[in-house]
Each structure stands twice: as C-alpha cells, then as structure tokens.
Chains A and B, each alone.
Chain A
Amino acid sequence: MRFLVLLVLNLFLCWLAGLFLPFWTVAAVPFIIFLLIPQRPAIGFICAFLSIFLLWFILAIVMDMQNNHILSDRMSMLIFNHRGHILILVVASLTGALPAGFAGLTACLLRHGTKKKTIDFGRFYSKYF
C-alpha cells in the first residue's frame, strides 16, 4: 500500500514539476521524496523507476495513439533505423526511469541507517490508508 502511495506521489509530483521545469525533475523529485520519506534502497529504486516509467509511458502512448504512430515511427527510423512505435516508447520511458530510479536509490541510501532519528513519514501516512 505504502509502495503504491509513494508511486502515485512520485508520478503526480513529477508530472506537476514537468509542466514548468525541464527533464532533470525526473531525478530531483524522487530524490527529495525519498529523502523525506526514506525506504529500503531496493524499494526506493523500484518505486521511483516504475513511477517515472509509467508516467512517461502513459503520457507518450496517449499522444502516440492520437497521432496514429506517425511521429514515433519516423523517430524510431531516425534513431534506431527500425520501423515501429513500441521500441521508441520503451526506450524513451527508460530514459526517464533510469535516472529517477538511481535518484531514489541515492536518497534512500543516504538515509539508510539514520532512519530512527527522523520522523517516519511513511508510517505517518500509512495510518490513513
């Protein structure tokens, strides 16, 4: 449950930040979130990675479907010399997800072991769900 909440929180805040700020928010947002709400490093990585992967994948596939894959086909030819839209959708989403995952991991590692001294935001929120 907590994982899901963090996932949605990451996804939403990244989307919000992305409206105003450039690409690097995909790393900055998970880093701040997991600094404030530390998790086990593996969880931090997976959660951040998945949230940005989902965010980018969903945003892109919606635009791609509305576009009848015209542009994704051309961009895929341009970059991978491969016709089709799946590969570029996945690679593009990974481009956002990887730095996000490592940013989440870094934040969790930073807080690893110092957990007891701080307020456990995760537990705090978990009361409500």
Chain B
Amino acid sequence: MKWFRVCCSGLVTLGLVILLSRWWSPSLPPLGRLFSPQEGFWQNASPVSEDFSGNFSVPGLQDSATVWLDKQLVPHIFARNEHDLYFLQGYITARFRLWQMELQVRAAAGRVSEILGPETLSFDRLQRRKGMVTAAKKAVAVMENNPVTAPVINAYTAGVNAWISTLDYRKLPLEYKLLGYYPSPWTPLKCALLIKYMSDMLTGEVNARENTNARNILSASDFDRIYPDFYQQQDPIVPVGMRFDPPVSSPHAPKINAPVSGFVLPDPIKPENPGIRNGSNNWAVNGKMTRSGVPILCNDPHLDLNLPSLWFEVQLVVPGMDANGVSLPGSPGVIIGFNDSIAWGETNAERDVKDYYTVRFRDSSRRQYRWENGWKNTDLHIECIQVRDQQPFYDTVAYTFFGPVTYDASFPDPVTGKKALASRWTGGDSSNEALCIYMLNHAHNYADYLQSLQYFDSPGQNFAYADKDGNIAIWEQGKFPLLWKGQGKFIMSGEDSSNMWEGFIPYRENPHVFNPVRNFVSSANEQPTDSTYPYYYSGDFKPYRAHRINQVLSQSTHITIKNMEELQTDVYNTFASQALPLMLRELKNGASGKQETLYLDTLGRWNLYNEPYFSGPSLFQLWWDSLYADVWAGYYRKVHMAVPRPQDIVTIELLSGDSALHFLKDIPPPIPTLAGMDLDAFHKAMKQAGKIDLAGQLEWGKFQGTDIMHLAKLPAFSDMHLFTGGGAGIVNATKKTHGPSWRMVVELSSPIRAYGIYPGGQDGNPGSKYYDNMVKNWVMGKYYRIHVLDQQKPGDPAVRYRMSFEKK
C-alpha cells in the first residue's frame, strides 16, 4: 500500500514537472519556466523607475565613451572615434530592440519557419525564391570591400554581439522565451539583409503579373484608360513646365512586342485587390516662406505600424559628425534626420524596378532554359529551410540570366498560373546603400548630399534636402532601368535578349529640383515628372496627398514649425472633395426614409475633413466603396482572376467625363447609368451604415481606427482600436494598420530646432513603460522635441540617465 501511494504521488510529481517543462505546441511555451519569477517572464517586467545610469566596461571598445538617455529613452551616443560610435549604436540598439532586429532579418532571409513551424513555409520559400539572401550576399561583399563601410558594419556587428554575449535565459527578451529560441550572433550579412528587407518592402511588389491578366481581357486602349501611366490631373515632384535635357539613350521596343498571353489557369482564381501600398510625405520650404527666415524640412514615412516600432531614435556624435533622427534597428547610421548643417528625409519613389520574364525549361530538372535558339544552363541553388518540429524542407531555386526563377511548377504563381517566371530586380544587384547613409550623416552641404546619393540604388527614394545655407532640394534617387515605352508593364518573354534592360538612367538625369521658384519642394508618392520627362517609367503613383501638400504650401507664408506639424496631421480628404459632389449630384434627391435623409444631410454638411469624431467620412467611404464595387463588378466578373485594382482617381476621372459609362461598353455593368448605380450604391451603403451606427461604430475613428500590432501578431502586446483620423489619400495617411511611422519637422536655425514622434516607444520590451509610451501623443498629433545634446553641457535638463562606457 505504501509503495502504491509513493508511486502515485511520485508519478504526479514527475508528471507535473514534465508537463510544465515541455513544449506541447509551438504556441504554448513550458509554463514552469515561463512563470518562474527567477527566470521567466517576470524578469522582463522592467521597474518603471529603472535607473539606466551606470558605469559599464565592455570588451571591444577602443576608448571610453558616454551615452546619455533622455526622457523618451533616446540614446545620445558620444564617442571618441567612429569604431566606438557604431559599436555603441549596435550595442544600445540591441539592448532595446534585439528580438525585432533578428526577426526582421529572419523574415528577409526566409527563416521564419525555423521558429514558427510549417505555417510560414510558403512565406519562407517565396523569400528564398525572390533571391533575398543572394542579393544580401552581393551587397555585403561590396560593403566589406569598401574602406569606409567595412569598419562601420563590422563595428556595429561587434556591438550587437557584445550585447548578445551578456544575455542569459533570464535576461532574454520576452519573445524569445515565448517562442522558445535563442538569439544567434549578428553578422554583417544581417545588416545587408535588413536593407534588402526594406528594398523588398518598398519595391518588391509590382503589377506586371496582374497587368498581364488584365491585358489578356482588355484591348490595348481600354487597358490604357483603366490603368494609365499618367493621370489627367497631375502635380508631379518636378513642377510641370520645368525643362529636361534630351535623353542620353532611348531604347526602342523590339519588333514583336505583344504581351505574353495564353496563360492556362487550371483553377479559377479569385480576383484580388492588392493591399495598401506603402507611401510617405516629405517637403522642404525655404527661408522666404518661413517666419524664422530659415528652411524647414518635414518627413513622415508611411509604413506598416507595428510594435516594436520600425524606427529607433538616436543621436550619434563623434568628432566630425553630429547626426540626429531615426535609425532602422539592424542598420548603422541615421536614416531620416539631420546633422549640424543639413536635414534630409525620404519618401518611396514607387517606380517599377522589377520585371518578370517567362522561362522555358528544357525539362523538369530545370537545368537548362531556352535562350536565343539554344539552351543555356541555369544556376541551381538548393535552399534548406529549417522547420520547427519537422524535417527541413529543401527547395531548389533556378537562377537564369535575368535573376531567380521565383515561380515554377513546384511553386506556382497564384496570380497567373503555372508558368515559370524569373524576376529581374534592381534590389538584387550589388550596391552599397550603407555608404550613402554614412556620407549623408557626415554631409555639410549640397555637394556632399549629391555625392552621397550616387550610392543609393535600391529602394528608389525621393530625398528631400534643406541646409543651413538656405538651400532646398529634392532628388529622386535610385537605380532605374532604361526602358522602352511599356517595357516591364507586362510579363515579357525571357527566351532571348530582346526584352532585357539595356542599361540604367544616369543618376544625374534622375528627376530633381534645386531651389525652385515656388520656394518649396515636396513629394508624396506622386509621379515624379510630367510626360515630357525623356525616360519611360511606370509605377504605382498616388496623386492626392501631393495635391493637398502643394496646395497648402503654395498658399502659405510666414510658416512656423507649428504650421508644418498641422500640415503633417492634416486630414482634408482631397479625393472626397472630387468624388462627393459628383455622387451627390447624380443622386439628385434619391434618399428615401428618415435614416437615409439623415445620413444624406450629414454628408451634405460634412466639411470633408476626416476627423475621428465625424461620421461623414465613414458614410462617404461606405458609399464610395459601394459605388466602386458596382462600377467594376462587371469587369471583375469578366476577368475572373487577379488584376490590379483600378485606382480611385481613375475611376472618378472616368465617371466624371463619361456619365453614360461608355468606357465600360464591352463590360456591361449591372446598372447602365451612373445615376442608377449611384442610387443603388447609396441605398446599399446607407443600409450598412445603419447597422454600423446601431453598433456605435460610425464615427470615423471607430469605423476605421488604427491597430498597431505586435510583430508576432499577439493582440495582448498590441495597441488596438486607436481613435485616429486621416486615411488613404490624406496627408495624415493613418489607416487601419498602416500610416505615418515617424513624423519629423526640422527648422534649420542655429541651433537646429526639431520635433518628432513615432507610434511606439524606444524599448521593444512589452514589459517596459517605454514600449508604447509615444502612441497616445502620436494619435493626438503631438510631437516631442528632438534633443540635440552637447557633451560640453552635461547639466542639460533633457539628460535623464548617464551611462559611461570603458574598454575592458
């Protein structure tokens, strides 16, 4: 009896210990270890009054250095030499953001399944098949061979690793404990992978495959009407009327230049609307327009909003440089910011720099492909993808003359079907963007800025510039292919050289503006030029924000920092100002019933501002979405596959010019007239609005609102249901999960005055009060002073914590 009881009790004990020490599923970590206050998650509960000050001796430093933290935990790094500066940038960034840094490069390299299991396998395969690691390896070779960037990258890497080496299980960032893995050493390749991650995010998605689907249904002229290269109303970065030099080279289209057709679709594919693309605003006004008489530069990049935030604010000080602004965790230097002489900020160029080519393999081994009437050997890369709790997955990626074969029989393209497609992408070429950033951080004048830009190839960006001498400028910088008209808009045949890129537009021919007569420069992802620009390009351009920014700026005088903050958070809905009058006119007095009349009245009184507490924006959005769906319903029914979403601006331009809807003559819409469709859409939308109203969700800030999700998509670590204004096509481009990821206003006075904010916090630890402490003020459109600290003034009240570093 005794032994029976001993056995029972012993088994229970053993069972409990095993139960609490084992992984039962990838989403359920061992609870014993997780809950233990001596090593588990409690260890990540940072005291709210934590004192970060102290003396630290870190192996790897060459000299002593100082880091001050301000109230927002922004590190101000003062080093005696550049090695120590970038070493400490790596060390401090890892101190606050290690898990995020690692996850981002893991995503870039297609190594997510290693930690998350088989669900993410197709994501990993796609990353490998895009050639991300191959591209990063090329980039790191260039960085390591450059006498400027090699020491920077290596010092940063050593700094990150110095921090990693101090970690034991209890000090690990919480996400490692929850997902059950350990950080691996940082490498220069990971710095390159981060640049490729951004490149892919900003230029990796192009419409060529969807365009090809559309072109197989539409005539050439209909295609051009629905998907025009240029919009009727345009307000490009280079003001209309500015002259361009004649082109250095104009490629000619080969004789036979029909889009590739004849795709066999084994299964009908659901039409898809590509998601919201990334965008951004930047502008600079010169001293003639400002109250202070000096230029002001503004930038707000719109990206996916996540926690931990994409950006990490820093001040980097070393003899010869004092750079301030935001960095990307994983990349040395300041990406958007200012130094003691100049300020700069970027928006995405939105230019198409990726083309798809069909590949005809000789056989299923993929060892050879058709090339100029013969067969050419492919370069086969075997990718081993580690999968958590499973055998590794091996994928073979064929590389052709153009680039990696992203889609083939073993990884069919969901958009076009089962043909093999190789991609040619400028992001896959070797380049050294880190050198551009390094030089930009050190730049003192316009010449330095120009010099640095030539090293920035991908992702193509509009670099706004302002300096203390009073100059302003903007350059669309990147490596852009020389194309014949229409080249790359559709999938091209990759069986010979006739469709390949002939070269690249010389950098000095890239669109740019220097000290223009209108006294300001701006960009907001609109087309960079009018149609007189001598080089062909296409892209995914957005017109409305630029219209509004240029309109406000051209009417402004005596501009202050406050005015610029107001413009960055401006919620005027330019698109609605164009669409709503038309929709109301066509509706005539079609409202029936009390509720519809009430809503119509609300819409009539709406001042076109997307304020969070208005219901006008929600009613307009519902109505427009419903009308849009009616207009294009016949088209989508006909194509029955993934095509690019016709832009709102195109839709409204077509509707305003053609109320009989002749442009849809081959594609009969369900209701033949605009007035009929408008009324139908109104009824449907208002019915929906009634339901939403009943649930109390009709205010714009609730109807759209914003969710800032944790990078591992854990709602408990996210900031959900934020009451935000703005929206797509609005200067304050805050959407559901996407928006101004950093807002910055810099006045180039002496000393420089700058303000900024991003929706997150400096510390990536969900257990820290600095995890999301700036979100509330970001929602309200407030800013923080960007402190430019001076080591000679240690008594500056902005200094909150003082860290002294000694070499060990």
Contacts and interface: CB of A to CB of B under 8 A. Distances in A.
Interface of A: 15, 18-19, 22-24, 26-27, 31, 56, 59-60, 63-64, 66-68, 70-72, 74-75, 77-78, 91-92, 95-96, 98-99, 102-103, 105-106, 109-110, 112-113
A103 B9 CA distance: 8
Given A27-B16, A67-B767, A95-B20, A106 B9 contact: yes
Contacts of A68: 48, 769
Interface SS of A by simple majority:
helix
A24 B17 contact: yes
B603 interface: no
A24 B32 contact: yes
A95 B32 contact: yes
B46 interface: yes
A42 to B, nearest CB: 12
Contacts of B43: 63
Interface stretch (B182-190, B652-660, B714-722): B714-722
B768 A70 contact: yes
B33 A70 contact: no
Given A26-B32, A70-B45, A71-B42, 20 more contacts: A19-B38, A23-B21, A23-B32, A60-B42, A64-B45, A66-B49, A67-B47, A70-B766, A70-B767, A70-B771, A71-B44, A71-B767, A74-B766, A96-B36, A99-B13, A99-B32, A102-B12, A102-B16, A106-B12, A109-B2
Contacts of B20: 23, 95, 99
A106 B38 CA distance: 25
A27 B49 CA distance: 34
A77 B42 contact: no
Nearest to A23: B32
Contacts of A59: 37-38, 42
Given A59-B42, A68-B48, A109 B37 contact: no
Interface in B18-48: 20-21, 30-33, 35-48
A111 to B, nearest CB: 9
Nearest to A113: B2
30 contacts: A23-B32, A23-B39, A23-B40, A24-B21, A56-B36, A56-B37, A59-B38, A60-B37, A63-B42, A63-B43, A63-B45, A63-B47, A64-B42, A66-B45, A66-B47, A70-B768, A71-B42, A71-B45, A71-B766, A74-B716, A74-B717, A75-B41, A78-B714, A92-B35, A92-B40, A99-B16, A102-B9, A106-B10, A109-B5, A112-B2
Nearest to B44: A71
Nearest to A88: B35
Contacts of A113: 2
Contacts of A106: 6, 9-10, 12-13
A54 to B, nearest CB: 12
B401 to A, nearest CB: 49
A92 B37 contact: yes
Contacts of B47: 63, 66-67
Contact of B17 (A27, A67, A70, A110): A27
A19 B20 CA distance: 19
Nearest to A93: B35
Contacts of A96: 32, 35-36
B36 A18 contact: yes
A22 B33 CA distance: 7
A2 to B, nearest CB: 22
Nearest to A76: B716
The 3 closest A-B pairs by CB, nearest first: A71-B767, A77-B716, A67-B45
Given A22-B39, A71-B41, A72-B45, A109 B6 contact: yes
A76 B766 CA distance: 13
Contacts of A71: 41-42, 44-45, 174, 766-767
B6 to A, nearest CB: 5
Contacts of A102: 9, 12-13, 16
A77 B32 contact: no
Nearest to A28: B17
Contacts of B31: 95
Given A67-B45, A105-B9, A77 B767 contact: no
Contacts of A15: 38
Nearest to A81: B716
B35 A78 contact: no
A75 B16 contact: no
Nearest to B717: A74
A103 B47 CA distance: 34
B222 to A, nearest CB: 51
Interface string B760-773: 00000011110100
Contact of B6 (A60, A77, A110): A110
B767 A74 contact: yes
A75 B32 CA distance: 15
B159 to A, nearest CB: 27
Contacts of A64: 42, 45
A68 B766 CA distance: 13
Contacts of B44: 71
Interface string B167-205: 001000010000000000000000000000000000000
A94 to B, nearest CB: 9
Contacts of B174: 71
Contacts of B46: 67
A95 to B, nearest CB: 4
A67 B487 CA distance: 58
A67 B768 CA distance: 8
A65 to B, nearest CB: 9
A10 to B, nearest CB: 15
Nearest to B715: A77
